[in-house]
Each structure stands twice: as C-alpha cells, then as structure tokens.
Structure 1
Amino acid sequence: MGHGGNVIAELTTDHREVDELFAKIEAQPVGDTQRRKLVDELTIELVRHSVAEEMHLYPAVRDHVEGGDGLADKELSEHAEVERHLKDLERLSADDPEFDHLVAKLKLEVSAHVRDEEGRLFPLLAAACTPQALDELGDKIRSAKKTASTRPHPSAPDTPPGNKLLGPGAGLVDRARDMLTGRGRS
C-alpha cells in the first residue's frame, strides 16, 4: 500500500503491482473462484490508487504543469471509466460469461492509462516540481491510500473539496464491509 519515495516512485510501484495482479488473474483457469478473489484484490488496489491520485496528484498537475487542467481532466475521465467497469465486475461471479470480457477490457484501459501517466504526465510533473515537492506529494499519496475507499463509487466526487470531505467516510465504511466479509484477504 505504501512504498516510500517521491510521488512518481510510489505510483509507479503501484502500477507494477497492478500489472502483477492482472498476470495472476490471467494465470488462473477460467471460471475459477480464485479469479474473483484476485479481482477483488485488484479492485481494492485500483480504487485506493485512484482516490489518492484524485486527491493529490491531479490537483498538483493542475497547479504546476502547463496545460495541467486538460491533463488532469483526461486522467479523471479515464478513472471514471475504469471505476464503472470495476462496479460492473463487483456484481459478477468468476464463471459469469461477462466476467472475463470485463477483466480484459479493464486491463486494456488501465494499461493505456498507466503508459500515458508514466510516459507523459510523470515527466511533466518531475520537470515542474522540486524534488522536495515530489517527496511531499508522495507522503500525501501514501497517507490518502490508508483511508481511501476500497470499492468503486462511480457517482462520488472525484475532485476537491468533495472527494477530500466524503472520501474518508466512504473508505471507513468500505473497510468495515471488507473486514466483515473477508474481502481482500488472500
């Protein structure tokens, strides 16, 4: 959940963990219940990551990167699409015919999003911010992931101040539900 380092190192490590989860899902036989458990784990990681980016990364992009409003809006739009897919996946069992189709679609969208962030957004942010600012942003991202939601909430606000006010409450409820159901425990 928290890896240390500046914001770029933190989020890049998250990206690699998501890649590994997709690989684990694909390694399981079609219809296997382990696929459902791994998708739940993937959902938790993607939602935490997205919430943290929406709370801290994209506002920093808006503030520091030339053309940052357009970049942040594009990223938020991609997050919304991923969150809708995660919400759709949440209701499906691993043996549902739509399950594998949605996982494949999700992987394509997440992979494209990651390539864009790592290839374009992160270098622009690194050029626009001091190392100290990037480190502070990494700390904020790690802190946000600790209280973030673990389930998709497509209709929740994804920009400040709404996401900063409502997000921790949704996160608390999600983590309580996860504890009661055992969701996210391998």
Structure 2
Amino acid sequence: MVSRSSFARAKTKSVTFGSINRTVAMTVGAAAIANIGRKLAVQSPTTLAGDWFDGLVAEHRMVMKLFDVLQATDDSSTAKRGMLIVQITHALSKHAFEEENVIYTALRNAGRVEDADRLNHEHGYVKQYLADLNAMKKDDSGFLEKVSAFRRHLETHIRSEEDELFPALRAHLDGSENSSLTRKMNVQGLMMA
C-alpha cells in the first residue's frame, strides 16, 4: 500500500517535472522565434533590394563595406579583425550559397555553362581566402596584405558578374522567370542566414 507521504512526493515530482518541461519548451520556442527573426533581418536587405540581380548587388556592396572597415584596422585591433572576418565569412557563405544553387544553375540553363563553371571555380578561391584569414593570426604582419589580395580577387569576380554575366542573364529571362529566380534566391538566402 502506498502511504500518503509517498503519494504526495510523487505528485510534487510530477508537478516539478511538468514545470521544467514547460519551461524548456517555452525557451526552445522563444529561441526558434528569435532565430527566424534573425534570419529575416539578415535576408531582408537582399529581399528589399528588388529582384535577384539588385539583391546580389546589395550583398556585394555590403561585403565591400566590411572590407573597408577591416582594411582600416591596425595590428593591435585583433578582436575587431576577428569579428569582421567572421562577418565577412558569414556574408560570403550565404551569398555563395544563393549564387551557386540558384543563379549559376540559371546561367547553365541559359547556355552559359563555361561562365557558370568559371564563377563557381572562383568561389573556391574565395573559400580558400576565408579559410586562410580565419586561421591567420590577426596581428600577423601579412594580414592586411592577404586581405587586400582577397579584395582584389573579389572585385574582379564582382565586376564580371555585375557588368556582364548577370545583366545578360536577366535580359535573357522573361519577367516571370526573373521573379521565380528572385523567390528561389531569397529562399536559399533564408536557409543560410
């Protein structure tokens, strides 16, 4: 037979575990909502820019502004350099995901296979620069030199996209196809944001 005190202890434990489970569920729910809000905030400048081309141009400009700030640092700014490299890495990773999974596929479908392959190959160098800069000591005397070489590589890549390839792709597609590309790119961006 179960004594009253055993029953009371069991009931108290049940209430306590129930309270803990509700608290955990509420915390997880709040974190999920916060993450969705963060993703929307990260992707919103691209989405608000308009179509896919304008969104990518906005992302290019944002990354170049981060490079401006990074290149204005000195060797004593190790924490700031580290933070900026993390921001650049995240921004370029999201950007590359959008381009590689949506835009370069559209280039291939439009018969620009060699161009898409070249751009994808150039992304390999971007990823290598990011890996090198993330691994490099932020007060290394060659740090800013590496950043400058990386920026030059990116600027060449961006000019090719913005001045030739992406405008040609946009002109090749009709309004519905451009709208579809914009939606697909924003979905990919949200996934990586």
If the length of structure 1 is used for normalisation, what is the TM-score? 0.74
Q: Deviations over 1:57-116 (max 9, x none)?
A: 00001112x4x1010011011100111111111112310233222211110111110000
Q: 2: CA distance between counterparts of 1:31 and 1:84?
A: 25
Structure 1 runs, 4 residues or longer, greater than 4 Å off: none
Which of the pair is proportionally richer in helix?
2
The structure whose RCO (Cα within 8 Å, separation 6+) is larger is: 1
Pick from 117, 131, 147 the counterpart of residue 73 of structure 1: 117
Pick from 14, 22, 29 the counterpart of residue 67 of structure 2: 22
Q: Equivalences for 1:54-69 in 2 at 5 Å?
A: 54-64=100-110, 66=111, 68-69=112-113
Deviation at 1:51, TM superposition (A): 1.2
Kept in 2: contact 1:6–1:136 (CA 8 A) = no
- Give the RMSD, CA atoms, in angstroms: 1.5
Question: For this pair of structures, how many residues does the alignment match?
Answer: 147
Q: Does 1:35 align with 2:81?
A: yes
Number of the residue aligned with 1:12:
57
Number of the residue aligned with 1:118:
162
Same amino acid, percent of matched pairs: 29
**Tell me, which stretches of 5 or more residues in structure 2 are unaligned?**
1-41
If the length of structure 2 is used for normalisation, what is the TM-score? 0.72
Deviation at 1:138, TM superposition (A): 1.6
Q: Does 1:147 align with 2:187?
A: no
28-37 vs 16-25, which moves further: 28-37
Larger radius of gyration: 2
Kept in 1: contact 2:71–2:144 (CA 8 A) = no
Q: 2: CA distance between counterparts of 1:55 and 1:134?
A: 15
